[in-house]
Each structure stands twice: as C-alpha cells, then as structure tokens.
Chains A and B, each alone.
Chain A
Amino acid sequence: MAKYKMHVLVCGGTGCTASHSHEITDNLKAVLRDKGLEEDIQVILTGCFGFCEKGPIVKIMPDNTFYTEVKPEDAKEIVEEHIIKGRKVTRLLYTDPEKKEHVSDSKHMGFYKKQLRIALRNCGFIDPENIEEYIANDGYAAVAKCLTEYTPAQVIDEIKLSGLRGRGGGGFPTGMKWEIASKNHADQKYVVCNADEGDPGAFMDRSILEGDPHSVIEAMTINGYAIGATKGLIYIRAEYPLAIHRLQIAIKQAREYGLLGKNIFGTDFDFDIELRYGAGAFVCGEETALIHSMEGKRGEPTFKPPFPAQSGYLQKPTNVNNVETYANVPIIILKGANWFNKIGTEKSKGTKVFALAGQINNVGLIEVPMGITLREIIYEIGGGIKNGRQFKAVQTGGPSGGCLTEKHLDTPIDYDNLIAAGSMMGSGGMVVMDETSCMVAIAKFYLEFTCEESCGKCSPCRIGNKRMLEILERITKGQGCMEDLENLKNLATVIKDTALCGLGQTSPNPVLSTMNNFWDEYVEHVKDKKCRAGACKSLMQYVIDPNLCVGCTSCARNCPVNAIQGEKKTPHVINAEICIKCGTCIEKCKFNAISIK
C-alpha cells in the first residue's frame, strides 16, 4: 500500500452496493484518471463499514475522513475539493445529532466510539477481492504460526483458553467443540462453516464474508489442522450472491498462493475448501439439518447424540462453526488467548456483532465487547430512539430470542445474562422498539416467521406453533378470550419443553417473553379490545369529532370505500363496519376532526 499517497475506501457491502457504490467507485476512478492522479490515489471497494443507516460510505485514508450518504455524482467534488485542494466536503460529513456539528473522523462518531472491531477488523478496511491486502494485514500469519509452531493440541488449548464461544446462537465453547472432534478418530474428518444466516435482519455473517472472506478461510484451515480434517465446506445460502462471489475469488487466490491445497507452508498438512449452497431454509442453520442438506437430503434436524463431532457429514466426524466464530480465530492465535480473554465478561469473552435495527437513529452493524449494556448500545451507539419517542423494548436473538425492557437496560450483555432475562444472544439481531410497537403483534410477527421456517418434523413445532399463531391472530383481531391466553402459555411452555431442535425449542421465546413483560397489553387486547400501540388495525376505530367537523366533505370524497356519510356543512360520520382503516380521511381532514380510538 506504500506507493499510494491516499486511499479512498468505498463500501462494497450489499446495502451500499444497492445504493450505487459501484458507480461511485467508477466515477471516482474516472475523475482521478482525468486529473492524472490514478497513480497516486487508490480507490478500493471494501466490505461493510457497518453504518448502513448513512450509506453509501466513502472513507479517505490516512486522515480518516468519513463521508456519508454519498451519491455517484459526488465523486467529482470529493476528488477536486478533498483530494486535490485538501478541503473536506462538509455537506457529506456526518452530523452529530446532539451537538449539531460535523464530525469528520469516524473515531469521534458516537456510532463507532464504543465499538471494538475484532471479527469485523478488516471489513471496510481492505479490498476483499485482493489476497495481498489481507496478507499485508497479518493475514495467514496465524495459520503459519499454527502449522509451524503449534501442535494441533496446542491450537485447541489456545482456543479453549481464549474462552471463545459459538457466535451462531448457542454459545457452545469453541475450543471444547474442536477438542471433541479431534478425539474422534476417522479416515476422513470435515470442518464446516455455517454461513446459513437466517435471522430476520441479521447480516453479520454476510458482511464478514463480503468484507473479509480470507479470515474465514484461514480460520477453517486452522480448525482443520487442529482436529485432523483435510476438507472444509462452507454452507452458504444462495441468496448471498456477493458473499459467494467473493468467497470464490478468495478460495481461488488462496489456492494460487498455496495457502489451500497440498503441503501448506511446506508442512505435510493438506487442506482445501468447497462451497455448498443452501436454498434458504432457516432450519438449515441448525447443524444437523445443515449437514443433511449438504448431503442432498431433506434439510431437517435429527436428534443428538450422535453429535456432528461423532458422526456428521457423510457419517464422519465434523466440526461446524459459524462465520463470526471463525473470524475471531486468526486474531486469537496471533495476539494470544490471554489478550482475547481479557475482553468481555467472566463467561463470555471477546466481542459480539449485532445488527442494530428498528426504531433507532443509527441502524447498522456494530461490534461491541461482551458486557456492554443495552443502554450504551441503544443510546450511545444507536443514537437513541427515532423521532424522540419513548423506548419500549428491544428484541434480541431473532425468532429464538425474546423482548427485553427498560429494566434490562443496564444489564451487561452476555450469553448467560440474556438467557436469564428470557431472551438469548442468537446470531445477534437487535431490534429496538418504541411505544408504537404492539408487543402482541411483535410476538405474532416472529411466530409467523417460525411457522414459515419450521421443517415440520416434530409435532410441537409443526402444529403447536401454528396453533399459537392462530391464537395470536385472534387476539390481535379482538377475537381472543382469556382461555386463549391460558392455552397460549401452556402451549409455549410445552413446545419449549418438547420440540426436537433448537428452532422449535426456542420458538416460543418471543411469546413467553412478551407475556412475561407485557401481560397487561395481552389482557387489554382480550378484555378491552384495545391496542395501546395503535398497531393492531382491527382494534382501531376512526371517529369524527362532531364539534370539530365542519362538513367540508373532503374525507367522504376521498374515502376509497365510501364509509363516510354526511350532508354538506354538517358533521360527518364514519361507518365502522365499512371502514378499512386506511387513514386517508385523517390525512385529508384540515380540521383535525378525525382521530383513532
């Protein structure tokens, strides 16, 4: 990287790509060529910066200037002003919402201040399609160290000592998993990278694969060496074309550099990786289902034991780890377990990547040390609740997780605390909700997802979740009764207790946690037929205040279903039976005479 004076990093993640970051790159390059600067200034399409709310992101190094919401036509100004004249384009800088000041350096932005980027260390920093950039940032040094300095057992000890736990949701100690696989002897073993990310809204695995594919390849190689496997498989959903493309390039480059294949680093260790594409079934993120899918069988889980470490892919010992877990491995080897295990809490070491979404100002991908509080994430990194509304709840762990409330805001986040609070880490989805979110409707939303994604193998999940969903549908339509609530609670408890796999066992969590934390809202829906959040349409009623209505007929004329009657210059009335609650009348009324009850 030495020969360039400056680097322009353009986010090439899926989100920014959709917002034309490729055109931005092309335009930047064209302008630089026009100005004869192509030899001095390098434009790099990187992985995701995380701050998706403000994308596309363009970052200029070495001065760390962080431009947000850049459009292709801004390329000329960035080159002419910033690069040639050294003047920052202030209109593209991030504005601190509180101080109302422009912030140029990302280090000083609230979104980044409390983040610690370990798994995402290279995302938004290197060109993921160039192996040399990865190598220049200590890439493949960890695998070299393992192969030349460590025995397989020492590698496992190091990972065990680091305290790394599975980032896919379960939080099983990674080192222990490797150890079990290493102790099962067979003529062939496999390491599998689980890239079947499926939680709604979670995209950390995709971002890592798009932004830093080599870190996963390197980690899998280390894993293979540690457990005695020579074959690696990455199970990735076909809906991630960019991640697949970059992985294919990375694998090809690694093979060309001799970092995959025979006699890696001159040792007698061979290792290679193949891709396997998933058709996008959430349940295939469950490791036994994933393995069946890779074998060409129906993607459905089987009971454990046998664990994959005993009998996995093609009945051979198989170690399955998630993308984010793998992304942590090379740096743990390089910096040492004792560096890593000082980060985080007693039982949860290191960092966790969360996909921050919902009614929050700074939506995006963040990586924070374990032990950080929800308050810090929501109010400091996330920039608080949108439109100055009130915080109500945060949903973590996706469809397997639960809702946490005000009382959990200061709980340090780690695997065990989240479970104790009735939720779970999951793969790291974090959806923030304000008072306009109905907690019954939220439970219903997640259950709709689980019902769609259940494989249908076990009866509690196949039928039980459907019945829970039907009860919730009744409740949100105002047709529920108190007996429904009793049945719901019993069903949720039994499904949790009896379902076959992780998906089924955790699917009642959104229901149970909202029932525990927002019982009053459930009762209101059932007894008072009222949704305090105003989210359940069936429970809303549009009413015209006769004292405010002047009879202008605007509402009646615009109502798409002719639900409003009244004579000119006399107060109008809405027929609730016809009204579809579309909200047009409220929009059209100039006298604020219409309200929702």
Chain B
Amino acid sequence: MQSALNKDLLNSKISVVKMEMINLTIDGKAIQAEKGLSILKAARIAGIDIPTLCYYELNGQKLENRPGGCRVCVVEVEGRKNLAPACATEIMEGMVVHTHSLRVVNARRTVVELILSDHPSDCLSCSKSGHCELQSLAQKLGIREIPFKGAQSTYRKDNSPAIIRDVDKCIMCRRCETVCNQLQTVGALSAVNRGFEAVVATAFEQDLVKSSCTMCGQCVMACPVGALSEVNQTRQVIQAINNPDKTVIVQTAPAVRVALGEEFGYPAGTIVTGKMAAALRRIGFDYVFDTDFAADLTIMEEGTELLGRISKFMNGDKDVKLPILTSCCPGWVNFFETNFPDMLDVPSTAKSPQQMFGAVAKNYWAEKLGIKREDMVVVSIMPCVAKKYECQRDEFKENGNPDVDYSLTTRELAELIKQFNIDFNSLEDEDFDMPLGASTGAAVIFGATGGVIEAAVRTAYEVFTKKPLEKVDFTELRGLEGVREATVDFNGTPIHLGIAHGLGNARKLLEKVRKGEVQYHAIEVMACPGGCIGGAGQPYHHGDFSIVEKRFEAIYQEDKNKELRKSHENPYIKQLYDEYFGEPCGEKSHHLLHTHYFDKSKQVEIEA
C-alpha cells in the first residue's frame, strides 16, 4: 500500500513537471499553479483559505461536486464585473485575485446570512451540531444576528428505517445528489421545484423507502448540514441496558476499531480495539463480542458455497451460477435487488456477518445461557447506515423478534461513550468476551475493500488445494482503485476475482458480467468508497479521503497483529461447528446462516 501511494505521488510529480504553469496573484502573493486549476485549488496550494460550502471532493474517487451554487467562495478578480466563484473559476495568466476584500467579505457574509435566514435554528438538538459546516461557517464569519426575517421553507420529514431526511435544513448544496447519482448511480435524489421551494428530494417527492435508495448513506456522509442523518437509536439502547430483565449483547464491526479514535482526538488510522471493548463494558453491555467472529463464520459458509459452485462448474454443471457475489454489504444487497433483479440467484446466500452474529447469539448463545431470545437484546456497532435497515428486514426476524435489535453507527457509539463520561483516551485495553469475541486477521480485513475476497481466498485455498498457504498476504487484491481484478493460483487452477467498491463501480462491473463480457469466479462488492472503513456510519471525513486511506492501512496492520489469520483456524469457529452447526452449508446453517433475495425493482407509485 505504502509503495502504491508513493508511486501515485511520483506520478503526480512527473505530471506537474509536464504541466503548463500559470502565474497569478492571490491576496498580494505571487503564485505559480498548474493550468486548469480553479482559483480555490490554487489558493489552497498556496495556503490561502477560501471558505466553501457546496463544494465537495472525494480525492482519489473521481468525485467532485461543484455546482457553484452556494456562492460562499466568491472572490474578487480584477477586471471582472461581478464576483467569481473560486471553485468554478479557472486561473488565468496574470490574474489578480482578492479573497477577502471588503466587497468580498460583505458579499460572503450576506450570502451566509441569507442561507441562515432559511435554515432552522435548532442547533441544540441537531444531529450535525458540532459537525455542521454551515454552523462553523457562521461562527467563522462572526454572524450573531440574521438581518433578514421572512418565510422559511418547510417540508414533510421523511423517516426511513436508516436515514432521516429533514429537508427544512437542505441548503441545496447538491452534494447528496452528486454522490447518489455519480458515485453510487442509485439515482434516488435530485433537485425538484423552483426558486425558494427548490430542494433535493426523491422522484415525485415520495418517501425514501419507496425510492431506489439503497440506504448506503453516502448522502449522510456528504451532507454538510443536518438535512440528512442516520436514525439515532442510542436512547433505545440505554433503555435496554437499563432493563434488568434483558441480557444485552454488543458486537462490533471490523472497521469501527480503526475509526472510533478519531472522535476522541486520535489521528486517523489509530487502532483502538482494546479501548473500545473497555468502553463498551463501562457502558454496561452484558457481553462484549465481536462481529469479526461472525466474519470468520461467513468465510466458512461463503467459502464453502464458492468452492461448491466451482467444483460443480469444473464437473461440467452448466446451471451453476458463477461468479459468486459477496453479500455482506446491505447497501449492495439493496442495490442488486433493485437494479439487477434478473440476477438474484448469483450472489452468495450467506447472511452478512452482522446477521450471522445475530442468529448465532439469539439461538446458540441464548440456548447456552438458558434464556429466551425475547430476553436477549443484540446491539451492533457498525460503520454503516444501511445496517439499520438490514436488521429490520423481515427475513431476519423470528416471530417478529429481530436477530439484531439495534444497529448503531460508529458515531453513535462515540456519542454513548461521551454521554457516559468515559475518559476514552485513558482507558486500559481490554479483550472481547469469549467465545463470540474470538476472531482472526481474515475477519478484520472485511473492513476494507478487497478484504472479504482475500479472507475467502486464504481459507478456500487451503480447503481446495489441501495444502497450507505459505503467503497469507494477497497484496494483489488490495488497493483503492474503484474496480480491480486479480487471478489467484489455486495450485494450478487459476481463480479469477473481481472487486468493486462504490455502487457506481459495482454497476459497471455487474453490467459487464450480465453481458458476459468478463469471466470471474467470485466478485466482492462494497457499497461505500474504500469499503466499510469509508462507510456512512463512520466519523465524518468532510470529503478528506486521506482519512479513509489511513483507516485502510490500519485495517491491514490489525490483521498483521493477529496471531491467527485464516478464518478456519479460529478455534471457537471449529467449536461452534462441532457443538452446533455440524458442517458449513449444512442443514442447520442453511436455516440460520443463509438468506434469500427479493425483486425490489421500483414501480413508480404516485400518491394522490
């Protein structure tokens, strides 16, 4: 990874040399910058800060939201009649720019006052408070009073199982729209209405659940204000813990441990697994378990399913569906159910680790404890917003009782820790509880794009070739390129693998598969850029993708730190099969660890 990043840097340096340079003056400072850059980027390189609001960029993911709509970044360009948006104005030879002249400061302040004049002032209880870019902009510009009183636009609040749209707060920055359409190609959100009523909404302003939304939540990650947020369930979790009749179990997803620290001042990429386990125990969970355990279990099931399909294929079975597609990511599952309903028999039937954990907890573990499943509450800590939707799916319930009761995001866990006044930074590391807290390095890498497929390969190789794997690290499967492919040698049998992260990339890859243009044995898809480490439930990165890159490195570091690095070597997994499931893909696991998919292609229903 490190070397890959350095190579990128080197390439960009080479291109700098080739680039035509432009001389300009910004705030009296003579600057040289590449031709084609915007004033905003040239100024940033020169260390001059121009405030922005609608502008949003995910470097490395080829995503730029630049509608030039908020007009916060306007600057004065000598010789130009009106002010220029710095984000959308290309630098020119000899240009003289003033980013903070009296005219600019007055205009910028007036524009922000206008935006605030049509924005609810309920900062006290707003989900984005403290992370809100409009709030910090208002602070920075010293706005204490809004001189413009008038009507406020109001809309119906849209509550879905995972995402809340509080459209009154929408500032028309269009970030969500760009992310939803360009990055994810989901197409659930776009601008509707005119003038003062203009707002970003679903088609026909229907509820999100009736749209093509996959609940991936990248819109929530991108929204600079509180117009889009996740459903917050910390209150319900506190009440469950407070209920003496309930046994409350918590599971934490792999990507949480490499991002949670950011909420407590640690640099991005700090691994806080031990502190997290300690904090969860302080909060009062009865058992602190790990989703990683279920990730190892997933590999057993999904790996077996993959090998089963490959053997059938090699034995000439023409009906077998290849490639097998991973099914860990609930945003991805929603996406293919909506967009590829003709291919529902292609993905693996293995449940996601969250749901496998829930099924094991409420059956195996409840039996072990001798309690009824109704008296057990399973809470998951996820880097994800879509997991909130996933745990509410009917097929993951027994008599209405869900396998996973509440799914909290990394951000919500940080809120809980702060609420309980736990001094996170000075906590001593603690271990997860056993047995459902045991895991291998293969499980940890589920948190990064390419990780699931690498974990599957580590196990499948040994099962298929019946030989021990000498080199555990499959670096050819790692990286942050949107679509990747690699061929792994299974002792003479080449296994072709595809990887995509970001739903737009997944669509590209799936369309090729549908048309028969590419041949893979297995494909891993994650809905969010970077995989779960870039999930929508993680601490807000405000478009700084280098944060995700640091989490990426941390995930592989955590893998290296593990004693066991292959899922099938997890002793407690072996024990679970011995004691309970018998064998992977057996009858009991078919019942508890596998699922099925539905055609969710959307019919437009227009409400009268």
Contact = CB atoms under 8 A, between A and B. Distances in A.
Which of A300, A455, A457 has the most CB atoms of chain B within a 10 A radius of its CB?
A457
Interface stretch (B62-70, B246-254, B587-595): B62-70
A498 B111 contact: yes
Contact of B150 (A461, A466, A499): A466
Given A457-B198, A460-B71, A462-B196, A298 B190 contact: yes
A553 interface: no
A275 interface: no
Contacts of B110: 464, 490-491, 494
B82 A456 contact: no
Contacts of B471: none
Contact of B115 (A281, A305, A463, A491): A463
Interface stretch (A51-59, A143-151, A446-454): A446-454
B197 A456 contact: yes
A302 interface: yes
A467 interface: yes
B196 A303 contact: no
A406 interface: no
Which of B85, B114, B172 has the most CB atoms of chain A within a 10 A radius of its CB?
B114
Contacts of B198: 454-457, 462
A303 B71 CA distance: 11
Interface in A194-209: none
Nearest to B88: A303
Contacts of A315: none
Contacts of B111: 459-460, 464, 494, 498
B194 interface: yes
B147 interface: yes
A497 B108 CA distance: 10
A459 B172 contact: yes
Interface in A470-519: 470, 483, 487, 490-491, 494, 496-500, 505
Given A300-B191, A494-B106, A500 B196 contact: no
Nearest to A452: B195
B300 to A, nearest CB: 48
B90 interface: yes
Contacts of B191: 298, 300, 456-457
A494 B198 CA distance: 21
Interface string B69-89: 111101000000011010011
Contacts of B117: 463, 467
A490 B111 CA distance: 11
A305 B90 contact: yes
Contact of B195 (A303, A454, A483): A454
Interface residues of A, number: 35
B193 interface: yes
A494 B83 CA distance: 9
Contact of B71 (A300, A451, A466, A500): A500
Contact of B107 (A298, A465, A494): A494
Contact of A452 (B67, B149, B194): B194
B70 A459 contact: yes
A458 interface: yes
B118 interface: yes
Given A491-B110, A494-B107, A498-B107, A458 B195 contact: no
A456 B68 contact: no
Contacts of A298: 190-191
Given A298-B190, A462-B198, A497 B82 contact: yes
Contacts of B155: none
B95 to A, nearest CB: 14
Given A460-B114, A498-B107, A281 B194 contact: yes
B204 interface: no
A453 B74 CA distance: 24
Contacts of A498: 71, 74, 82-83, 107, 111
B67 A457 contact: yes
Nearest to B147: A487
Which of A461, A463, A467, A490 has the most CB atoms of chain B within a 10 A radius of its CB?
A463
Contacts of A466: 118, 150-151, 195-196
Interface string A73-111: 000000000000000000000000000000000000000
Contact of A455 (B150, B190, B194): B194
B103 interface: yes
Interface in B330-377: none
Given A302-B68, A499-B71, A457 B172 contact: yes
Nearest to A297: B190
Contacts of A305: 90
Nearest to B150: A470
Contacts of A490: 106, 110
B148 interface: yes
A500 B69 contact: yes
A470 B68 contact: no
A470 B196 CA distance: 12
B452 interface: no
A433 to B, nearest CB: 26
A454 B114 contact: no
Nearest to A468: B148
Contacts of B149: 470
B171 interface: yes
27 contacts: A303-B85, A452-B195, A454-B194, A454-B195, A455-B194, A455-B195, A455-B198, A456-B172, A456-B194, A456-B195, A456-B196, A456-B199, A459-B72, A459-B115, A462-B172, A462-B196, A463-B114, A463-B117, A464-B110, A464-B111, A465-B195, A466-B118, A467-B148, A470-B151, A487-B147, A494-B106, A498-B82
List 5 tightest A-B contacts by C-beta distance, closest first.
A456-B198, A454-B195, A470-B150, A463-B114, A303-B68
Given A456-B193, A463-B117, A500-B85, 8 more contacts: A303-B89, A454-B196, A458-B70, A459-B69, A460-B111, A460-B114, A464-B111, A497-B83
Interface of A: 281, 298, 300, 302-303, 305, 451-467, 470, 483, 487, 490-491, 494, 496-500, 505
